[in-house]
A = this chain, B = another copy of it.
Amino acid sequence: MDELGLASSPSLLVVISGPSGVGKDAVLSEMKRRGLPFSYVVTVTTRPRRPGEQDGVDYYFVSESEFQRMARQGELIEWAKVYGNYYGVPRRQIEEALRGGNDTILKVDVQGAASIKEIFPDAVFIFLLPPSLAELANRLLQRQSLPGDELDLRLAKAKEELRKIPLFDYAVVSRKDELDVAVSEILSIITAEKCRIRRWKIQL
């Protein structure tokens, strides 16, 4: 603060979303690898751990009964069942990270982003786009063997999620061989948002 009453922006909540298979986890991993001073909200999930994933870092891996207890007791600000697995966002983690003054990164599916927006309207919403639907199909097929019907279903769902783009503030293309481009764009968005007029407090 000085005589202009310039006040620095409070910490931002940055919501990163996009269709299943677009590479949300890969983008988050690259952000973490760079050691930037962000808090990352760790989602609770009942889905099986993938190779290389760490409990408490990539996700909190919990049983279905533990998940249901958390949901019942209001510990999850938002939760959803996605392709047979539950995913939930722990309320206290977001609140503590923001109070701690860190910019806070939350990864959530597209439906979840809409719910988060109602609770945190000042958050920044970033949609990760696949370079094309063909590329999204490739990624889904590489991740696990899906029967043809299931793939069609997921692509139809992805198209439906793409229609929710107007709820978001920004879109960033996630290319498998250019993760650093997507991450740089996300970092630029965070820097720019802190300069947005609506986030400044200026007293004259």
Interface of A toward B, CB cutoff 8 Å:
2-4, 6, 126-127, 129-134, 159, 162-163, 165-166, 168-173, 184-185, 187-189, 191-193, 195-197, 200, 202, 204
Contacts and interface: CB of A to CB of B under 8 A. Distances in A.
Copies of this chain per assembly: 2
Given A132-B4, A162-B204, A192 B173 contact: no
Contacts of A6: 129, 131-132, 173
A160 to B, nearest CB: 9
Contacts of A184: 191
A193 B192 contact: yes
B204 A166 contact: no
30 contacts: A3-B133, A3-B134, A4-B129, A4-B132, A4-B133, A6-B129, A6-B132, A127-B197, A159-B204, A163-B204, A165-B202, A166-B197, A168-B197, A169-B197, A170-B192, A170-B195, A170-B197, A171-B202, A172-B195, A184-B191, A185-B191, A185-B192, A185-B195, A187-B188, A188-B195, A189-B191, A189-B192, A191-B192, A192-B192, A192-B193
Interface centre among A131, A163, A184, A192, by most B CB within 10 Å? A192
A66 B75 CA distance: 71
Contacts of A127: 197
A171 B185 contact: no
A10 to B, nearest CB: 15
Contacts of A165: 197, 200, 202
Contacts of A162: 4, 202, 204
A195 B204 contact: no
A197 B169 CA distance: 6
A53 to B, nearest CB: 28
B188 A192 contact: yes
